[in-house]
């Protein structure tokens, strides 16, 4: 699962979380790092040694949850963006999640955003509580979400302008695609034929993943269940004259 989709299993996620008592005691880091790779900035980042020193650089991090105060220094250091901080009792109804976020533009404090699950689907609205932009490290965005979403929300998305161009070869916007999906064009091939998206110079390399995301959201189907349409030769565009010259020789 993780290897194919980048999404960990529920068992893996549960294993990364501290127990309920610790969660209730205050902010705590949650490290969703499951693959042994040569990487250790998190252990070096923690001033309280809450992330135990590594015996080998390939180790996956292990936490002493009692030492962690949820400061978030490890969040901005992890190159894999695998660490968040969760404060389940931030308010009566909301939990606070501190997320690493490397896209631009950065959100603004007080802004209402889409909270995304691990597959990138919007699942709730989230208010931006704080934005920390450290020099040369990953910005950390604090968002307030419903308490039952702490194991689901892992990213944010600034609501898009629907006039954003998805297919740059044929100037097809998000709004165009959403409108055709609503009219019943429910596969990449159908959208391609009716709008010409994916038929330009990029041959779908730029737009098809974005189109699949729109289809996935509209049809409530995971991207893994969608097909990316027919890929046609030639792989790279060639001049008619070059092909003609080659044909003459063969």
Contacts to other proteins by CB under 8 A: 170, 185, 187, 189-190, 193-194, 196, 199-201, 203, 232-234, 237-241, 243-244, 246-248, 250
- Residue with structure tokens 């609205």? 125
The residue length of the chain stands at 250
Q: Given the complex with other proteins, which of 61 and 198 has the nearer CB atom?
A: 198
Min dist. Cβ of residue 236 to other proteins (A): 9
Q: Given the complex with other proteins, which of 93 and 250 has the nearer CB atom?
A: 250
Min dist. Cβ of residue 214 to other proteins (A): 17
Q: Is the bond leading into 56 cis (omega within 30 degrees of zero)?
A: no
Cα–Cα distance measured from residue 132 to residue 112, given in angstroms and rounded to the nearest whole number: 17
Cα–Cα distance measured from residue 173 to residue 191, given in angstroms and rounded to the nearest whole number: 12
* Residue 80 DSSP code: T
Q: Given the complex with other proteins, which of 55 and 235 has the nearer CB atom?
A: 235
HSE, CB side, 13 Å, CA atoms: give it for residue 219: 21
Min dist. Cβ of residue 242 to other proteins (A): 8
Q: Given the complex with other proteins, which of 44 and 243 has the nearer CB atom?
A: 243
Residue 196: both structure tokens together: 């010409």
Min dist. Cβ of residue 237 to other proteins (A): 4
């Amino acid at each position: 699962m993780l290897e194919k989709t980048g999404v960990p299993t529920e068992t893996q996620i549960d294993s990364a979380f501290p127990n309920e008592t610790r969660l209730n005691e205050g902010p705590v880091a949650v490290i969703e790092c499951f693959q042994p790779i040569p990487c250790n900035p998190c252990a070096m980042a923690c001033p309280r040694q809450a992330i135990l020193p590594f015996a080998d650089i390939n180790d996956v991090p292990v936490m002493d949850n009692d030492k962690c105060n949820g400061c978030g220094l490890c969040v901005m250091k992890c190159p894999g963006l695998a660490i968040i901080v969760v404060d389940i009792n931030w308010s009566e109804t909301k939990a606070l999640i501190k997320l690493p976020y490397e896209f631009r533009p950065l959100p603004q404090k007080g802004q209402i955003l889409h909270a995304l699950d691990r597959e990138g689907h919007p699942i709730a609205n989230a208010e931006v509580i704080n934005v920390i932009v450290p020099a040369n490290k990953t910005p950390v965005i604090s968002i307030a979400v419903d308490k039952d979403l702490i194991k689901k929300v892992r990213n944010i998305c600034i609501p898009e302008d629907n006039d954003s161009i998805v297919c740059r070869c044929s100037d097809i916007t998000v709004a165009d695609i959403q409108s055709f999906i609503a009219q019943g064009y429910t596969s990449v091939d159908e959208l391609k034929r009716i709008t010409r998206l994916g038929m330009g110079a990029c041959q779908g390399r730029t737009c098809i993943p974005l189109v699949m995301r729109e289809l996935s959201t509209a049809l409530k189907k995971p991207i893994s269940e969608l097909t990316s349409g027919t890929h046609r030769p030639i792989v790279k565009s060639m001049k008619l004259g070059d092909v003609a010259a080659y044909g003459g020789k063969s």
